[in-house]
Structure 1
Amino acid sequence: MMKRAWGMFQGVVANVFVALFSITCIFPIIWMIYSSLKTDKEFSLNILSLPAKPEFGNYSRAITEGRIGSYFMNSMFNTLSALVVVLVISFITGYCISRFRFKGRTFIYYMFLSGMLIPIYALLIPIFVEFKTLGLLNKKFTLILPYIAFALPTGVFLVESSVESVPIEVEEAACIDGSSFLNTMFRIVMPMCKPVLSTVAILTFLHTWNEFPLALVLIRSNALKTMPIGLTNFVGSYTVNYPLMLAALVVSTLPVVIMYLLFYNQIMKGMTAGAVKG
């Protein structure tokens, strides 16, 4: 009886701990949303209180005065462009490394893995010098190139692990039925890798959407700045308009939250599939 009571007590304590931890994760988002509806005076008097009257004008001011709309579209263009290229190259490369045995295969695979270990800050100066020499600074596609390069190692690693778990007999049966190589690769194997491809898509989206240092170093034109850089416009030399900045943060965070909620299950399945090699 005592053992059962102790087990129930442990379960209650664990659930309470998880609930409190969940609240600490959710509250900052809730606070950011209702604080973005305050006036600057209300926020200065009490940062935790609810707004007396919702000030939705903060969002229109953030879009017009802070040019958040332009920065949003720049970030979306960079993110979606990098996302499509990363998904295609990751799948093709991961499939080839998993299925074919050729000279240099192991070297190529470990070269991709080593890319996961290199911090972005260590490459800021070399990338800036290289882009300046090649005349690639302040272009529409400037940020897409490094975004693809930094996202590929993780994508190739996850896809290679996922393809390795797909039985080769599936492809052999498709070949016997008359399916071409490309048809088998993209219409049979690729759908079976959907969970891990969804994970690659989410990770790439999060990385490129929130990326700050490369956007700060490689882009100088105000017309090409991204959301993380655009948020700094709300910070003055001596003052910060927090409600406006929080309204811009809500706009910036919304795509990430929506994608995470839509593909939460795929993320969990993909990470599990990529974590263990078959």
Structure 2
Amino acid sequence: MQLTKLLHIQNPIIQGSMARISTPALVVAVSEAGGLGVLTTTGATANSLQQNLKTIRAATKKPFGVNLMLQQPNIAELLPVLQADPVPVVFTSAGNPAPFMKELLALGTKVIPVVPNVKIAKKMAALGASAIVAEGLESGGHIGTETTMALVPQVVAAVTIPVIAAGGIGTAAGVKAAFALGAVGVQVGTAFLAAEETPIHNNYKQLVIQADDNGTVVTGTGGNQVRSLKNALTEILLATTDPARFEQLSQGSLQRAIDGDVDRGSFMAGQIAGAINEIRPTKAIVIELAKGVPTIIEDLF
């Protein structure tokens, strides 16, 4: 099924949720531009989530999504909000949505898990997921171990539900490549860091558009690896072997980045940052990405 039909959107372009960044202003801008804006719930309370939903609905009649990072400590507080006031789409990450998937689906909400490998993709499809986001390690923030190029076609072959490609996609050419791999849409985060409507300090946006192809680095170990733009903090983190010290340095680093602290902030961004060269309106970004969407299958070749 085409993603546009499944989600009732004009373009199969999904704005990836970014912790503390994809707030109502960006969500509305993306949805109004014909894509699907996705609200972050990181740091949200039940009251703030209710207010954010109210703000979005007052500003747009277009579909939008909400991301639930399932390992956040107050997830039990947030779920009832989405059950009492259903949203068009819920994206899940960092956890198992099985306990509430059926209920959300019964409410008419599409549930789309973000997965890093084929094994989890199969499990989510078996649970009844509406679609899958297959995210490669090129993405910003917390990453898996498989590249987008390798992961997407394997997930496409393993499940019968729609697959959305994510990780390292931020140009029209990248969108076209994702469709050639079998995806029916893309999820994009880093490109929207350079959107005029994105509520981050200009220092963050400047670091994104100034980055080159070697501008990001992965810090952390095991299942807690994070990709971000290189700066003084990443150098210190790479040299830190004490887990307690690493945690201390990381605490609050994302908010410091949002506030523009170029030395002590964790400026999460994907490898595609090297191809993002200017700050533009969200609408212009969506229009440019949509140029890579094939109109017919022959357009891929």
Q: Which structure is larger by alpha-carbon Rg, 1 or 2? A: 1
Q: Which has the higher helix share?
A: 1
- Larger relative CO (CA 8 A, sep 6+): 1 or 2? 1
* Same fold? TM cut 0.5: no
The structure that is strand-richer by fraction is 2
